[in-house]
Structures are given as C-alpha cells and as structure tokens.
Amino acid sequence: MALVRLEVLGGARLIAGEHRIHLERKSAAALSYLALEGRTPKPVLMALLWPEANSVTASSNFRQMLRRLRQASGEELVLGRGHAELVPHLACDLVDLKGRATAGQHAEVLSHEGVPLAGLDYSDCPEFEVWLRHVQERVAGDRVKARQGELTRLENAGELTAALMLAEDWASEDSINEEAARVRMRLHFLLGHRSAALVVYERLKSGLAGEFGVAPMLETRQLARDIERGRQVPATSEAIARPGVLPARILRPPVLAGREDVWRQLEEGWASGQFLCIAGDPGTGKSRLATDFAESKGPWIYLEGRTGDREVPYSSHTRALRYQLALKPDVTFPDWVRRETGRLLPELLLEGEHPPPLLDEAGRLRFFESQVEAMQRTLAGYAAVVTDDVQYWDQASADVFLYVFSRTFERSGSPRTCLLPRFIDCYRKGELPLYLRQLVHDMEETRMARHVMLEPLSFEAVRTLVTGLDLPGMEAHADRLARYTGGNPLFIVETVKHLVETGGFEGSWPERFPLPGQVGPLIQRRLERLSAIALRASRVVALASAHATVDLLSTVLGADTLEVAEALAELEAAQILRGVRFTHDLIEQAVLEALPASIRQTLHARLAEALSQAQVPAGTLAHHWLEAGKSERAVPHLIEAAEQDEAALLFAAAAAQYGRAADVLERENASSEVRRLRRRAAACSAKSLARDGACSR
C-alpha cells in the first residue's frame, strides 16, 4: 500500500503520490485529531466537529465527510464502526514532529515549520478549538526546547556561526525578545564580533523603548557591560574536552599570559597620546594583545588588511570604510563628501550621479579632504581602532590614512584633542612594505608613535596560558609545550588542538610528533581530517580572500548552499575558519602551501569566471586569470585596471599594470599594442616621478 501523508503544519493537505489534496477544515480537524489521539469513539469525534447538531445530523455529516475524503484520495483513510482510526499507512507531519521532540532530535524538530492547522477557523467548534490551541502551544514549546538544545549542541561542537544563524532566525520572529538578543550578543562576542554584539544591544534597547517604554532587563544590561569591557561572557554550555571536540575557549584562551611588560608600554604610549604599533613574528599574539588593550579603553572597532590588497589600490581603505558605515548606518555626509566617497563606494551615489574625473592634484586633494570628513564621522565615538595585518595594506590606502591623520592632527594640535580615535596597528616583524616602513619610522622619530615588539612566551607564561584553558590533564604537558613550540602562542594553541582532537593530552606526551617549533605539519594533519568538501571550501576561501562568500563558494565548488554551509560549519568546529575568514593567517598559509598546482590553477580559473559576474576590481580578475595560467584572458583586465588607476592619478600603480599587460602581449608577439602600452607605462612613470620630486621639495 502506497504511503499517504497528512500535512497539517502551516495549513492542511494530503499528499498521495504526486497528488496534493487540499483539505476543507472539518476533514483536516478529524484527521489531525485521529493522528494525534489515535482510536476514538465516533460520537466523541462528531461532537467535537458538529457540537450543535443532533446525533442523526452529525452522523450524516460524518459519513459525507468520509465519502469526500475517499473520493479525493482514492481510498478509505478512516476505519472502524463504533470507533474511528486512521489507516496504518497514513503518516502525519505533526506526529513525526512529536516523536522527534520526544527523542530529542532538535535539528529535525526545527526543520518542521508552520503552525498546526494555521489559517483555519474553528470558532463554531469550541471544544475542538481548545484542543487545537493546546496542540499549537505544545508545538511552540517543543520548538523552544529544540532551539535551546540545538544552540547548546552547536556551541558544544564549536559551530558558533551556525549557532548564530539559528539565533538570528529566532530574532527574526521576535525582534525585541531579550533572550534571543542575549544569545546573539554572546555568540557575536565569542566569534570576535564585539561591535556587532553591541549593535544588537543598542537595537534591542531602542526597540523596547519605542514599543513599551522600558529598558532591557538587568541581566541584558550586565551582559552588554561585560562585552564593552572585554570580560569573559558566559557560554550556553561548555564543550567537554574529549577526542574530536574543540572547546571554543581554545580559539581564544581566557588568560592573556606573559604580556605584562608590553601592556605597560602600551599604557605609557596611550597616556602620552601616541599612535601604538605592535610588531612580532606570526602567531605571537599581536591581534589578541591589541584587541584586549582596546577593550580596556572603551568602544573600539576592528579593521584589517588582507592578502591581495596590494594588488588593488584603495582596497584596504574601501573595505574599512564600508564596514564603518555598516556599523553606523545613520551617519550622513555632506553632498560633496558623499560624491567624492562614491568613487570608492558607488552605492552612495544617487541614480545617474557620477563624481567628476580627477584631472589634477587639486582634484586629488579634494578627494583626500573628503576622506578626512568621512573618517571623522564614521569613527566618531570610538576610543580606539585596531588595524590588524597592516603589512597587507595597499599604498593608496596608506596614503589616504597618512593624509587624514596628518590633517586631523594639524587641526587639533595635540593627539589628546584629535577628532580621530587612537590607532593600534599590528603587523608582522620585517614584512612591512617600504611605504609603510618609512611611515612608521617617521612617526617614531617624531615621538608620535610607540612601537612594541612581542617576543615568545616564557615557560611560566606558557604554564599560565595552559592552566587558563581548564582542560584536565593538559597542565602536565605545559613545560613540554613550551619547549616544543618555542613559546609561540599560536603554536601552543595549534598543538593543544591536536592533542585534544587525538586524545593525546590524557596520557604521556606523544612519541611521534613533527619537529619542534613547526606548526605547519600539525595544521596539515588537522586539514587531512576534514571531509572532502570542507577541504575544498577552505582552499577556495584561501584563494578568494576578501571576496569569499557562501554564494561564491557554492558557484566555484558546484555545490548547493546547504552543502557549503555544512562545510563551513565543519571548518568552524575545527577552528580553521570563523565565518569565511581564517582564524589565523598561518592557517591560511598552510592551506595554500598544501594546494597542488593543478588544483590551484583550476580554482583560480573558476574564481575568475564567478567573480566576473560580480562587481569586483579589474585588478582582482586579472590576478585570478594570471594565476590560472591564462594570461591572455588577464590582459583586458590589466588594461582596465591601469586606466582606472591613471584616472585616479595613481600613476605608479597604472605604470605597473600597463607594464604587466605589455609583458603578456610581448610573449604573444602583439608588437603594436605592446608599444602603445609601453608608452602609456612610461608616461605614468614620469608623472609619478614628477609628483615624488615635487613632494620631496
């Protein structure tokens, strides 16, 4: 007998093979009641459905209803003489939901959407209406429990982004639900999105005031204060340290160990009104120190450079400005500032509006002046700006920042009265490009900046860090960890992850381990434990860098968005990604180093094809085609990028792009076009040298 399915969540219908039969309300009521309550005396069922009718009329109505059901479905669905019950092969989504709730299958419960018999009026059947209301309340309660259980499961598994997505769905149902807001605030904070957590709080506070004229509860206010001050926030539950499960606290150890001296130096620099620069080898904890220090000073914002930024002028500044506006959507610019900023953010321009071309240095200075105004407005209210991975910032963005900082300082006369927040820059030791190295040097020489260098942790500091992780049995390995990792905090964290995933911390130190001080092999072993699609997703994220999104991954991998979301959840649980960003650039580097050349080229080609449908800079498309080994397809984008740079008076960048295009065409013997591009490159180089000479005078 073929299965027939009764669906009453969000309406009422029968599914029989390929046929969908919409049920009238009395038939829907009868089938729903029998599905949940089982075998029922017919007089009881008829009294529920026709309370005002006498027994003869009710019996006649009941028979007619059964006949209509039989005609519609082609079979008898209700059996029995004195009692009524459903045929065994009739399944019901409401019964399935009840069973999954009883079994604690939280994700499956949440996948059943809709209110039982939604939109059907039973006001003429008061006793049935009471029964239905109880069913609806029970379903709602089951979903609340399932949501809480699934949030706990996801957080225990370290899948914080998936947990946040679930919490966002909850908030979409009730935007001023304080419990949902607290969950979102906490998860944003655990993911490192402190500003986003505080935005949730401010919107909740505004919503409660507007709707009810009340303030958030004390518990919510306290959580907001803890987040503002950078304190550790309570988790829904803690993951148990067992093989294969990475507690979220490993990603960001609760204790900042061994940095008392550099913290004191930062405090001295802050008190003197200085710009703060934190340098160190990869993995020494620059970002953690900077963000913890910023937390201690009040509201702050996190910006970052990304690999590939140097390929595209203004890319670092554009991304930072777009992020700043997203956090402060109510900020408005004077029209001239809006139009000038529209060169970078076209979404600010009105329909049909175009900024005037940059014809000379006066136009370039006008653009720079607009960025003074834009940055002052979008950064107002912050005490500090943490700028991470500054070594990746492109030169045009660095020029804008230097101009904005110089002009603002010039107008204020003192760092303490400056209209900009205090900047805390982090970068890898020895990896700053020349244009940034000179800037930092000049600021140090004039005592405008305080420079601190992070060194490896001492044995005592490693013991403090490991103790703070609260992993039973791990403390016994603290000294071995210090020797093995050389005191590098990231190496310590990656080694701890390996020990947790393999259960190695529960006994003696593993006999077979990579050479001391090398984190790459440990990361590679973690990558090898990933599913195939998760590994492919990590590779695409590494190559796409700042342009990585779920939709882009779906296109490049040829997978649906659900598969991609599951892969990202797996990568987050393994603490390799946080959203679509690597938790550390050394992990990104390890992914790239392990990527076979043939696969790398294929993925670059797919990225170029996919990104060509999006609004990405021409330089980015050129980069992907060149890396794909298809240089001839890069040429139009190189020329377009050069023309855009030249129009923006970025002559050195334009000369480089014209030169690259000429190099490609020269290999293809396109002599006339090569000569034209060489002339353009030479002209741009001459203009760049002339500007540099004028500046030096």
Give percent of the chain with pLDDT exceeding 70: 92
pLDDT beyond 80 at 249: no
pLDDT of residue 248: 62
The pLDDT of 260-286, averaged and rounded, is 93
The pLDDT of 214-221, averaged and rounded, is 86
pLDDT of residue 25: 93
Confidence of residue 239 (pLDDT cuts 50, 70, 90): very low
The pLDDT of 141-157, averaged and rounded, is 85
Over the stretch 160-187, which tens digit does the pLDDT of each residue have? 888 888 888 888 888 888 888 999 998 8
Amino acid found at 82: G
pLDDT beyond 50 at 390: yes
pLDDT of residue 517: 54
The pLDDT of 212-220, averaged and rounded, is 85
Confidence of residue 215 (pLDDT cuts 50, 70, 90): confident
In this structure, are residues 556 and 603 in contact, taking their beta carbons and an 8 Å threshold? yes
pLDDT of residue 20: 87
pLDDT, mean over the chain: 87
105-133: buried (b, 16+ CB within 10 Å) or exposed (e) per residue? Answer: bbebbbebeeebbeebebeebeebeebbe
Q: Which two tokens stand for residue 213?
A: 């004229």
- Beta strands 13-16 and 19-22: pairing type? antiparallel
Confidence of residue 234 (pLDDT cuts 50, 70, 90): low
pLDDT of residue 406: 86
pLDDT of residue 267: 96
pLDDT of residue 230: 58
Over the stretch 544-585, which tens digit does the pLDDT of each residue have? 988 998 889 999 999 988 888 888 888 887 778 877 888 887
Which SS3 state, helix, strand or coil, does residue 473 take?
coil
The pLDDT of 594-623, averaged and rounded, is 92
Q: Which two tokens stand for residue 8?
A: 């009453």
Over the stretch 120-146, which tens digit does the pLDDT of each residue have? 999 999 999 999 999 998 998 888 888
- Measured between alpha carbons, how far is 151 from 162 in angstroms, rounded to an integer? 9
pLDDT of residue 240: 34
Give the CA radius of gyration of the chain.
31
pLDDT beyond 60 at 238: no
Over the stretch 405-461, which tens digit does the pLDDT of each residue have? 888 888 876 666 678 899 999 999 999 999 899 888 888 888 889 999 999 999 999
- Measured between alpha carbons, how far is 533 from 540 in angstroms, rounded to an integer? 11
pLDDT of residue 488: 87
The pLDDT of 227-239, averaged and rounded, is 58
The pLDDT of 45-73, averaged and rounded, is 91
pLDDT beyond 50 at 156: yes
Over the stretch 14-54, which tens digit does the pLDDT of each residue have? 988 778 889 999 999 999 999 999 999 999 999 999 999 99
511-523: buried (b, 16+ CB within 10 Å) or exposed (e) per residue? Answer: eebbeeeebbebb
Q: pTM of this prediction?
A: 0.62
Confidence of residue 660 (pLDDT cuts 50, 70, 90): very high
pLDDT of residue 247: 66
Domains and CATH numbers, the chain: 4-142 (no CATH), 157-228 (1.25.40.10), 248-255+459-525 (no CATH), 260-454 (3.40.50)
Give percent of the chain with pLDDT exceeding 90: 46
Question: Comparing C-alpha atoms, which of 231, 156, 163 is closest to residue 578?
Answer: 163
Over the stretch 333-388, which tens digit does the pLDDT of each residue have? 999 999 999 999 999 999 989 887 888 889 999 999 999 999 999 999 999 999 99
pLDDT beyond 90 at 476: no
DSSP string spanning 45-113?
Answer: HHHHH-TTS-HHHHHHHHHHHHHHHHHHHSS--EE-SSEEEE-TTEEEHHHHHHHHHHTT-HHHHHH--
